A and B are shown apart, each in its own frame.
Chain A
Amino acid sequence: MIPPAAVTAPEAGLPLVPLVDLQLVRRHLLAGFLWLLASMFAGLLVSLQFLGRYPIDFVEIFSPGRVRMVHTNLVAFGFLLNCLAGMAYWVVPRLTGLPLQWPRFAHCNFWLMQLMGTALVVMLLGGHAQAVEWGETPVALDPLVALVAVGFFINIGACMLKIGRRPVYVTLWYFSAATIWTALTYLMGNYLPQFFVAGAAGGAIAGLYIHDLVGLFVTPLGWGAMYYFVPLLLNRPIYSHALSLIGFWGLAFFYPLQGVHHFLWSPIPMYAQYGAVVSTIAIEIVVATVIVNFFLTLRGQTDQLRTNLPLRWFYTGMVLYFVTCLQCSIQVLLSVQKIIHFTDWVVGHAHLVMFGVFGFWLFGVIIHLWPRLTGKPWWSHQLNVWHYWLSTAGLLVMFLDLLVAGVMQGFEWRNMAPFESSIIASVPFWAVRTVAGLVIAAGQICLAWNIWKSRGALARAPMVPFVEPAGAGAKPA
C-alpha cells in the first residue's frame, strides 16, 4: 500500500528527505489517543455522580463539576487537536509532495501541545475555568492554546502555500480553510465575550464559538481526511468532483452562520435565531450531497465494508454524521426546541458527533496508519474488530438512551411536574448511560492493548516497508 516513493528527491544531487515525519505523526496520534483515554475516564467518573456513586466527591480538585470540564476540554484540545494534527502531518506532505518545512518547530509544537493539555487539566481541576462553553480553558491559558493550534496550522499551511497557484485536491481545500477558521474562531470565542461583549450579544458570539469549533476546526479536518483516505482505501477516485465542490462551498458558507442555534428562545435578537435555524436546515441539504457522493464512490464495493476495517470506520462515522445533521435539522426547529433544549437529548447529540463521527474517523486513521508508521503489523486484527464493535454498540446505546431521556425530561418540565420528578425518572437512563460508557471504554482498552502489543523498536528504523499481515483480511487482492 505504501507507494515506493516514501522519500522525495526534489533535485538530483540533493540528499533524500523523508516526505513524512513518521515519528511526529506517531507521537501525535498516540498522544491524542492517550488524551482520549483520560477524557473518557473523566466522563465515566462524572456519570457516576448522576447515580449518587461518585467515589471521591469530598476531594475538592476532583469535584464532578470540574472533572466534567476536563472531560469536554480534553476531547477538543487533547484528543481531537492531537489526532487531527497527526493525520494532517501525514496527509499534507503526501498531497503537496513537500515535507514539513520546519520539522523542529513541529516537534516543539508537539511538546507544547502536551504541556498545554497538562496545564489545562491542572488549572481546570484547580477551579480556574473561563465561562465560555467548550472553551473553559482558563483565560491565562488561552494564548498557549491559540499558539499550539496556530503552530500546527503554520506547519501544514507552509506546505500548502508553497505549491503556489496550482489547483489542489479536495482535502487541501478543507485543510487550508481550517487554518484560518480555527485561529479566528478561537480568538473570537475566548476574548470577545470575556472582555468586550456582555450579555445576549456576547451569548451570540459564544454560540458562534461553540459551533465553529466543531464546524470550522474539527469538521473540515475530518472531511479532509475522508476525501483523502476513502479513495485511497477503495483504490478509486471520488465519484463526483462537482458534488465535492458543492459540499465544500456549501459548508464554508452555511456552517459559520449557525452558532446562535445553541441559544434558541433566548434574549438574543430573534432574527439571529431565525437565521441560525434556516442555515442549519440548509446545511443538511449540502451534507446530503456529500453523503451521496461518498456512497456513489463506494458503489459496487460495499463488500469491502465487511473486510476493510479502516474503511468501515470511515463509513460508519459518515452514516452517523448524516444522522447527526439530520437530527440537527430537526432539533433546531423552534417548536422542537421547546421540549428538548436543556435536556439530555443535547448531550446525546454531542456524543454522537464528537465520538461517533470524528472519533470514529480518527480510529479509521489510526487503524490504517499505525502499521505504516511503525513498520509492524497489528498484533491482533481481532482486537481491532472488538474495538470497533464495542465502540459502535456503546455509542449507539448511549445516544438512543440520552435521546429518550431528553424527550422524557422535556415533557416532564413542560407538564409542570416537580423538578425532582424528572430527576427520579432520569436515573435509570443515566445508569444505562454509564454502562454504555463502560462498553465504549472497554473498546478503547482493546485498542490500547493492541497498540501496546504491536510496539517494537519504535524510534528506530522508521522506514521499514510495510507488509500486509497474512490473515488480516484488510485488503482485497
Chain B
Amino acid sequence: MERVRAILLIAGVFFFALSFLLMGVLPVVTLADVPTLTLAEVAPRVQESFLDLAERWPTAFTKSFGEPTLDAYHAALRRGREIYIGEGCWHCHSQYVRPVSNEGLRYGAVSVAEEYQNEMQRPVLFGTRRVGPDLTREGGKRSNDWHAAHFFDPKSVVPTSVMPRYPWLFEPVVGNVLPTPPNRDGLALIAYVQWLGTWPRPEVEAAAKEAP
C-alpha cells in the first residue's frame, strides 16, 4: 500500500476505472436504448422564426444563408451553437429545467433525458450557473425583433440586465443608421435560441395519447 507501483495500479488505474464504470459507463448503458438523434431529427422542419428572419432582414439573410431551406436552417443552428459556446452564453444560462423549486412553472416542462440524446448536446450544455434565466424552453417565447435588440444591447429591452452586449453580431454601422441587421453569426444565434425547446418530444406526445 505504500509502494509506487501498487499505488499506480490500485489507486491510479483501478479506482479511477471503477469510478468511470459506475459514474460514466453505467449512465451510458442506462440510456443506451434512447437513440442518439441527428440534427435533422431534432430540427425536422424549418421554423416560422427562421422564415421570419429571412423576411425581416432579406439582404443580410440572403448574403449569409441564401434561401431559407432546411439545409440553411441546419447550418444556422450549427453555427448558432458554436457562437453560443464561444461567447460563453452557457456559463450564465443553463439548459435544464429541474423538477424542483417551481422551475416547471417558471421555465416550462421539466427536462427529460431523451431531449438531450442528440448531436446538439455533444458536449451537453447543461450549464452550472444562472446569472440569466434558463433557456431550455426559450424558443418561440419572444420575437426575433426582441432577440435582435437584446443581443445588440440587452439593457434596451431589459433595463436591469447585466448581460453583455454583442455588437459584433450585427452588420457594421454605416452613417447613423441604427439598428443594423444581424450578420451571419447574429442570425445563426437567433435561430439557435429560437430553436431551443422546440424539438419534437415523442415521449410527451406518447404520454398525451395514453391519457384519457
A binds B: yes
CB distance from B193 to the nearest CB of A (A): 15
A462 in the interface, Cβ–Cβ < 8 Å? no
* CB–CB A52/B22 < 8 A: no
* CB–CB B85/A423 < 8 A: no
Residues of B within 8 A of A341 (CB): 98, 128
Among B3, B96, B102, B158, point to the contact of A266 (Cβ < 8 A). Answer: B96
- Residues of A in contact with B, size category: 35 or more
**Which residue of B is nearest A173, CB measured?**
B7
Residues of A within 8 A of B116 (CB): 198-200, 202-203, 267
B108 in the interface, Cβ–Cβ < 8 Å? no
* CB–CB A256/B19 < 8 A: yes
* CB–CB A202/B123 < 8 A: yes
> What is the total of A-B residue contacts with beta carbons within 8 Å?
240
Instruction: Give Cα distance in the complex from A257 to B16, angstroms.
Output: 8
Among B23, B91, B98, B100, point to the contact of A272 (Cβ < 8 A). Answer: B23
Give B40-95 interface residues, CB cut-off 8 Å to A.
83, 85-92, 94
* CB–CB A197/B122 < 8 A: yes
Instruction: Give Cα distance in the complex from A203 to B28, angstroms.
Output: 10
A469 in the interface, Cβ–Cβ < 8 Å? no
CB distance from B172 to the nearest CB of A (A): 12
**A160-B4 contact in complex given A129-B88, A272-B27, A410-B101, C-beta closer than 8 Å:** yes
B198 in the interface, Cβ–Cβ < 8 Å? no
Residues of A within 8 A of B12 (CB): 176-177, 179-181
Among B92, B119, B160, B164, point to the contact of A198 (Cβ < 8 A). Answer: B119
* CB–CB A346/B129 < 8 A: yes
Instruction: Give Cα distance in the complex from A363 to B23, angstroms.
Output: 34
B146 in the interface, Cβ–Cβ < 8 Å? no
B18 in the interface, Cβ–Cβ < 8 Å? yes
A236 in the interface, Cβ–Cβ < 8 Å? no
* CB–CB A168/B124 < 8 A: no
B209 in the interface, Cβ–Cβ < 8 Å? no
* CB–CB B128/A262 < 8 A: yes
Instruction: Give Cα distance in the complex from A143 to B58, angstroms.
Output: 42
Residues of B within 8 A of A303 (CB): none
- Chain A, residues 329-370, CB within 8 Å of chain B (1/0): the string is 000000001110111001100000000000000000000000
Residues of A within 8 A of B26 (CB): 269, 271-272
A58 in the interface, Cβ–Cβ < 8 Å? yes
* CB–CB B122/A202 < 8 A: yes
A9 in the interface, Cβ–Cβ < 8 Å? no
Among A57, A130, A198, A410, point to the contact of B165 (Cβ < 8 A). Answer: A57
Instruction: Give Cα distance in the complex from A57 to B124, angstroms.
Output: 28
**Which residue of B is nearest A256, CB measured?**
B19
A245 in the interface, Cβ–Cβ < 8 Å? yes
* CB–CB A177/B105 < 8 A: no
B180 in the interface, Cβ–Cβ < 8 Å? no
**A208-B87 contact in complex given A167-B3, A200-B113, A267-B112, C-beta closer than 8 Å:** no
**Which residue of A is nearest B87, CB measured?**
A65
Interface residues of B, count at CB 8 A: 76
**A199-B118 contact in complex given A66-B88, A165-B5, A181-B16, C-beta closer than 8 Å:** yes
Give A132-183 interface residues, CB cut-off 8 Å to B.
132-133, 136, 160-161, 163, 165-168, 172-173, 176-177, 179-181
* CB–CB A423/B160 < 8 A: yes
Instruction: Give Cα distance in the complex from A207 to B24, angstroms.
Output: 9
- Chain A, residues 259-285, CB within 8 Å of chain B (1/0): the string is 110110111110110011000000000
A49 in the interface, Cβ–Cβ < 8 Å? yes
Residues of A within 8 A of B206 (CB): none
* CB–CB B98/A266 < 8 A: yes
**Which residue of B is nearest A263, CB measured?**
B126
Among A167, A208, A257, point to the contact of B2 (Cβ < 8 A). Answer: A167
**A269-B164 contact in complex given A131-B85, A202-B122, A342-B94, C-beta closer than 8 Å:** no
CB distance from B120 to the nearest CB of A (A): 8
**Would you mind naming 6 contact pairs between A and B with Cβ atoms under 8 Å apart?**
A63-B87, A165-B5, A199-B118, A216-B16, A263-B126, A276-B23
Q: Which residues of B contact A (CB under 8 A)?
A: 1-5, 7-8, 10-13, 15-16, 18-20, 22-24, 26-28, 30-31, 34, 36, 83, 85-92, 94, 96, 98-103, 105-106, 111-113, 115-119, 121-133, 155, 158, 160-162, 164-168
Q: Which residues of A contact B (CB under 8 A)?
A: 49-52, 54, 57-58, 60, 63-66, 68-69, 127-133, 136, 160-161, 163, 165-168, 172-173, 176-177, 179-181, 184-185, 188, 192-195, 197-208, 216, 245, 248-249, 252-253, 256-257, 259-260, 262-263, 265-269, 271-272, 275-276, 337-339, 341-343, 346-347, 410, 413-416, 419-420, 423-424, 427
With A50-B162, A166-B3 already in contact, 19 other A-B pairs whose C-beta atoms are closer than 8 Å: A65-B88, A128-B86, A131-B90, A176-B4, A193-B123, A197-B28, A199-B124, A200-B117, A200-B124, A201-B31, A208-B19, A208-B24, A256-B18, A268-B113, A338-B98, A341-B128, A342-B127, A423-B160, A423-B161
